[in-house]
Copies of this chain bind each other. A is one copy, B any other.
Amino acid sequence: MALFDLPLADLRQHRCATPEPADFDAFWAGTLDEARRLAAPAVLSPVDTGLRAVDTTDVTFTGFGGQPVKAWLNRPADVEGPLPVVVEFIGYGGGRGYPHDWLLWSAAGYAHLVMDTRGQGGGWRAGDTPDPDGSGPQTPGFLTRGVLDPQTYYYRRLITDAVRAVETARALPFASHVLVSGISQGGGLALAAAGLSSPGDLAGVIAGVPFLCDIRRAVTITDRAPYAEFAAFCRLNPSRAALALSTVDYVDGAHFAARITAPALLSAALMDLTCPPSTVFAAYNALRGPKELELYEWDGHDGGQGHFSSRAVAFANGLI
């Protein structure tokens, strides 16, 4: 890998050049209202994982359109009293897998709600949540599923799930605080969920090398999946490209960031061809609350890993 994006000094100033849709807030308000109207209480069932220091619960909550969404809830075993909850979203192509895959935050002394990703789970970790809505013609993957209309767009459904996961966490009887967290697509969802939460609802936001930021720029400066799915779709459908671009404006992390006042920790990696650093800076520079950026100068999209885990735990501990 080598440096390929803007020089660092320019990155530090970079902002998303795309205005947000005029009805951005109305679009999301309507979407969330409908989800809440169709919501049912979460169903929690204990799971025996063999992990004696962690209590695991299988959670089913209602997401977009009242559809069931799976999650794991891991907590330190035998802990009484209130706990902060970290809601985690998963990277592109992955599902919730096994409870054994998600041990960081219970080790840190938090409850940890890991939201499954509808329809995904076929790339690198299995999933258990269907995406019951079909789709028009699309490039394999999820970035162009239903992209010709904001109403049918896959990420409208997934982001609604994420907001509903936060609401589910807040409703847990032991929840003292709620934070959102995620890497890559998970980071993009964390920004979205935070941007759609009310001020004060979230204690913090953690987004490592987030996906879905400054999307119009991203799809022209990298040929790596998943952004490349978008270019592939437009290549086959040149007359539909403008429409597809206007749809992704509704899910751009830079627009969500402009609504976030909770403390936020982001990371960017200078050699990241999957989520180019300028697109992360576009979101970071739009954040309105206290914020920190962990800059990985030598990393691609694997940016940070264990280092960022320790950084994230320290950030969360500092908030609570």
Contacts and interface: CB of A to CB of B under 8 A. Distances in A.
Contacts of A136: 119, 129-131
Which of A141, A221, A297 has the largest number of chain B CB atoms within 10 A?
A297
A62 interface: no
B306 A108 contact: no
B51 A222 contact: no
A11 interface: no
Contacts of A76: 53
A99 to B, nearest CB: 8
B119 A310 contact: no
A29 interface: no
Interface string A59-101: 0000000000000000010000000000000000101011011
A313 B50 contact: yes
Interface in A244-298: 271, 296-298
Given A97-B306, A231-B298, A53 B122 contact: no
A135 interface: yes
Given A125-B305, A223-B1, A236-B124, A104 B100 contact: yes
B122 A140 contact: yes
Interface residues of A, number: 79
Contacts of A144: 122
A133 B223 CA distance: 30
A137 interface: yes
A2 B125 contact: no
A1 B231 contact: yes
Nearest to A48: B314
Contacts of A135: 119, 130-131, 134
Contact of A121 (B52, B137, B142, B302): B137
Which of A76, A233, A235 has the largest number of chain B CB atoms within 10 A?
A235
A37 interface: no
Nearest to A49: B310
B231 A271 contact: yes
A234 to B, nearest CB: 4
A236 B122 contact: yes
B134 A133 contact: yes
A144 to B, nearest CB: 6
Which of A53, A129, A135, A234 has the largest number of chain B CB atoms within 10 A?
A53
Contact of A119 (B107, B134, B239): B134
Given A100-B309, A119-B138, A134-B135, 7 more contacts: A53-B106, A121-B138, A124-B236, A130-B137, A131-B134, A235-B302, A238-B299
Which A-B residue pairs are the 4 nearest by beta carbons?
A52-B109, A122-B139, A121-B137, A127-B137
27 contacts: A1-B228, A2-B220, A2-B231, A49-B313, A50-B108, A50-B313, A51-B107, A51-B108, A53-B107, A100-B310, A103-B107, A119-B135, A119-B138, A122-B233, A123-B236, A126-B236, A126-B237, A129-B136, A130-B136, A131-B134, A133-B134, A140-B141, A232-B298, A235-B298, A235-B302, A238-B298, A238-B304
